[in-house]
Chains A and B, each alone.
Chain A
């Protein structure tokens, strides 16, 4: 069975940094692109970033480009999101997600990690 489990910094200051991790199991991690999706309190889903299987290709939403960095460690079957220059509107639940295959939709989701940015 596929598991995605987010962990990492949950409270940060404006202008500060936090790092999220997503530990995975139950599938061959290096075969799949991986993504981050977030949801601000009371709002809809927002796509944040994707990284391809070997880390060579990364894409970011305009709202986080230049501040967030997605990365992965295939040996540890883990996905990461380094969040710098945090802003109050980065407050959200962050989900790690995996598609069923290329452009098959996000079949697997983590339970989500609440990140709060506040002074």
Chain B
């Protein structure tokens, strides 16, 4: 069955960097667009970034553009989110999700806490 497993979260100081990973199984990653979506503690959902199935297109929400980079390695069935210049308001659970339009499948998420 489809599984998405995120990792790489943790506690990081403001201004530092972190890289999240999402390993996919149960399907061929190379056929699907993939997203990162985040949820601040006790808050709603915020879409963060998309990478197309062939990495030919990416999109970002305004608040992370220029600081975050989404990438993929289809040979490793993995997508990444490189997060630089982290801020306190980036604190959230980060989910990876599959889908070009709606988000069909979600991982369990990884928690990123930005705090001094």
Q: Do these two chains interact?
A: no
Residues of A with Cβ closer than 8 Å to B? none
